[in-house]
Structure 1
């Protein structure tokens, strides 16, 4: 069984600082000393990639998920379209000793994750194609593809892959960080689905990595993050998938104990009896409401409206009515929403919780504590 609930909503970003970036403390509004060398690198890249090199001051159409990253001051952003171009970009940056970050979906939270502080942002957004194999068992997915783009490309074939829960999540960071999905109970994590990586190594060479080619690197890339190179393409398994059920409901923090007890029961059923079941929850603080809430997303990987497994959970008094229905993964992830308007901090808690009326600890599933601040 796949124990997906132990990593609810947790993926690692594709664009944490590169292997060649010094991890020195920096101020995102105060570019570091390497800015001069990066300026030279940007001039070289501008001549190599006309129309796809954007200086920060003129890059007014660039948006990204978290406001902290959107406010990051980089020198320029370059948009390669192939592994060969990524190799050329990397060589220029290395030759100029210029720091950089790599952006796929940009669904991460801190400066230097996807947007370089005072350096060059390598934006893989144009490398977003998904090509299904002739036998419909695998697909080649671009390193800059978003979850919504992948599901949209696979949907006409009646197929899906292990991809993000949110449409804006990039496949790069998702797969390299491990990748838990709404389908993980049945199909495993994203790392279990990757058959082959196309990667640009730190010395700018391009390699194909699989279980049989460079097996040590293949093992490292399966959840090891992005510090081994820049992955420009993933060959991943795909499988038949029809419409799914998704429901949402929000509970007050006064119902936390009841909610967690029921969530644990649901997770046990997911593990032992029915891998179609999925449940995610987020314990967050809303400054506007001045209170904590528990938001849940109920999922079932078949077109079954209001699955009975969630009846007891939905009997708990809630702050909102149950909303949702049956839809394709392509449609349910198609909405991207406005970017760069919120500031997120996430932490993880789990293990055991102590209830005053219980003489022993009560085991609980892990949760993500999200604190957001619209600005």
Structure 2
């Protein structure tokens, strides 16, 4: 049996080898499930009458012949049977008829477009040096000023910065949250990554396990000061940049040692607190008393400070956002000291229950939640929900 599997794998890899200098079309998997945007990390390459299927590491895992993306109604690989629901000059929407867990049908068995996956057609660009990209990434600490989208938690008032260190087989990320220039809290996570190229198009992908798919980014530029990428993981495609930071790798590793870890168990989608019982076990009165302890005295305003966050499947919290309002629910700003104090206190709460969904039609392992603190002249008088 093992010999058969090895032979099959070698056959696929040899079949995927294609060194002829012929033009091809590359389609990058972006997300599936239109209202949840769960990453779909696959690539399809059309070359002549053959289609090649690549995984998130850039490895060709299958191929099929006598298919054309521009004409076929269905594309059959060994483990994926794509029914094409829609296509245009720039994208392809498919439904995997062999995956009944992630691609759900209507009751009559017909594909439900809501659960389909979108592929983005990629235009050619300037040729880059793959080895140089790998070298530059590993030689510096990179800073990314996070561009938020519909995958992010609600946030109006925090600036979010990531410091990124690529090593040989893993990437370490420190996420720093700033309010009015003051760093309030930080969190750390590590995951695997791959840099690869398909027909002179270059990609960066992250991996956190088969059960937690991560997006694939296209690399469009690289030098010693900046890495330019395109992110297709939300409805609006966005260009992002990793800029070389001034801190050394040793300084970064020291920060890692002093930064608490946090990672979503499932980055593709977080449920909402009202779907599951994720109420803080000690109650809101405890939270109010705990946060009021040593509360800065330099604030006299009244209003609401709302801390947004995720609760992961272990009951840990992270991925913060901040919204502030006055008593008329209008935009407001409170002092750096009181905002920093409240966020820090909330980040240390550790008595939330694990959040994995028990609802069959709503798959998630993490929950988006919030705590709204009511302030009367700078003192917390109530917490909800």
Alignment TM-score, normalising by the size of structure 1: 0.28
- Name the one with the larger helix percent: 1
Higher relative contact order (CA 8 A, sep 6+): 1
- Name the one with the larger strand percent: 2
Larger Rg over CA atoms: 2
Alignment TM-score, normalising by the size of structure 2: 0.28
